[in-house]
């Protein structure tokens, strides 16, 4: 089996309007809402860094400038921390910064759908495999979801890898759903994908979640601009055209997933991540018990 090309770049589509989370997302991008003490977008970047990804392409939109600022120096803050001898805090802030020149920000001028947002990154990705991480899907696990997916990518000889999760049948109309084939270790062959099918028509209950490893061939399909479910340019529809042309697998990651684009999912993320943090877990547990 020839060695698959390494995955060096990640696309983070962060141009969505976050209408399910209004009014919180009127002036603050949903990707900047914090889970415990970090914006959700930072969790996604750290997950990709852990997987060996070096370059980050953010597809943003109007009103999302704080995301760009978050991944840059904040000189006044850094000076003040230094003056006050808050060395640990300063060191942590600096360690989190991506290397100079390794991030770029482009705009999706109209929110035409996830597929269109990914297509907007095509010039920055070029002709190589790339990861896509949707920050609202917060994935917590060791190793992280993207690291597990990149391991599977090399095991099956490259191609496309999508993260998947079994969901109750009544939820298929909220997800892209997989028609599964043969199982190969941690990966399941993908025979077909359908965006948001009715439960009665869904090919399975194995649903696509917000992590992908894609090949540059997907850009030609996305470039046709075909509208799918909800009138949006869907990533699932263009990915489906690659089935049969290259290896195509789904991976059930061994991670906890929190849907931070949804109010309840976001609350659950704060509780779940809080309870996993030794510095605050004992006090948080007591607070929850008292509230119940």
Q: How far apart are CA 265 and CA 225, in angstroms?
A: 31
Closest CB to ligand UTP among residues 81, 118: 118
- Contact region with ligand UTP (CB under 6 A), list: 2-10, 43-51, 111-119, 249-257: 111-119
Interface with ligand UTP includes 112 (CB under 6 A)? yes
DSSP 13: E
Closest CB to ligand UTP among residues 61, 159: 61
Minimum distance from residue 112 beta carbon to ligand UTP (Å)? 5
Interface with ligand UTP includes 39 (CB under 6 A)? no
Q: How far apart are CA 113 and CA 219, in angstroms?
A: 14
Q: How far apart are CA 290 and CA 244, in angstroms?
A: 55
Closest CB to ligand UTP among residues 18, 228: 18
- Which residues share a beta bridge with 259? 137
Interface with ligand UTP includes 117 (CB under 6 A)? yes
- Contact region with ligand UTP (CB under 6 A), list: 32-40, 107-115, 160-168, 214-222: 107-115
Choice from 129, 159, 228, 261 touching ligand UTP (CB under 6 A):
261
Interface with ligand UTP includes 109 (CB under 6 A)? no
Closest CB to ligand UTP among residues 21, 212: 21
DSSP 5: P
Say which residues have a Cβ less than 8 Å from residue 282's Cβ, sequence separation at least 6.
none
Interface with ligand UTP includes 228 (CB under 6 A)? no
Residue at token pair 């999508």 = 162
With CA atoms as reference, report the closest residue to 72 among 51, 87, 88, 58: 58
Interface with ligand UTP includes 274 (CB under 6 A)? no
- Which residues share a beta bridge with 180? 190
CA angle (201 as vertex; 199, 204 as ends), nearest 5: 75
Interface residues with ligand UTP (CB under 6 A) are 13-21, 59, 108, 111-114, 116-117, 134-136, 261
């Amino acid at each position: 089996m020839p060695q698959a090309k390494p995955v060096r770049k990640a696309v983070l589509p962060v141009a969505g309007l976050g209408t399910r989370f209004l009014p919180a997302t009127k002036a603050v991008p949903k990707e900047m809402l914090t889970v415990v003490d970090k914006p959700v977008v930072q969790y996604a970047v750290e997950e990709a860094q852990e997987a060996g990804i070096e370059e980050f392409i953010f597809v943003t939109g109007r009103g999302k400038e704080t995301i760009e600022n978050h991944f840059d120096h904040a000189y006044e803050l850094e000076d003040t921390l230094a003056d006050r001898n808050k060395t640990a805090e300063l060191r942590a802030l600096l360690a989190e910064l991506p290397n100079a020149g390794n991030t770029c920000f482009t705009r999706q001028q109209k929110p035409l759908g996830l597929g269109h947002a990914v297509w907007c990154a095509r010039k920055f990705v070029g002709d190589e495999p790339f990861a896509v991480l949707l920050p609202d899907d917060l994935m917590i696990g060791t190793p992280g979801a993207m690291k597990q997916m990149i391991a599977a990518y090399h095991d099956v000889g490259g191609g496309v890898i999508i993260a998947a999760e079994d969901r109750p049948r009544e939820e298929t109309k909220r997800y892209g759903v997989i028609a599964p084939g043969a199982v190969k270790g941690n990966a399941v062959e993908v025979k077909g994908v359908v965006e948001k099918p009715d439960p009665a028509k869904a090919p399975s209950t194995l649903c696509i979640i917000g992590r992908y490893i894609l090949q540059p061939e997907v850009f030609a399909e996305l470039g046709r601009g075909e509208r799918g479910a909800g009138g949006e340019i869907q990533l699932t529809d263009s990915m489906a055209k690659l089935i049969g042309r290259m290896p195509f697998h789904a991976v059930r990651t061994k991670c906890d997933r929190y849907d931070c684009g949804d109010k309840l999912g976001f609350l659950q993320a704060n509780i779940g991540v809080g309870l996993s943090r030794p510095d605050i877990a004992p006090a948080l547990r007591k607070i929850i018990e008292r509230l119940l």
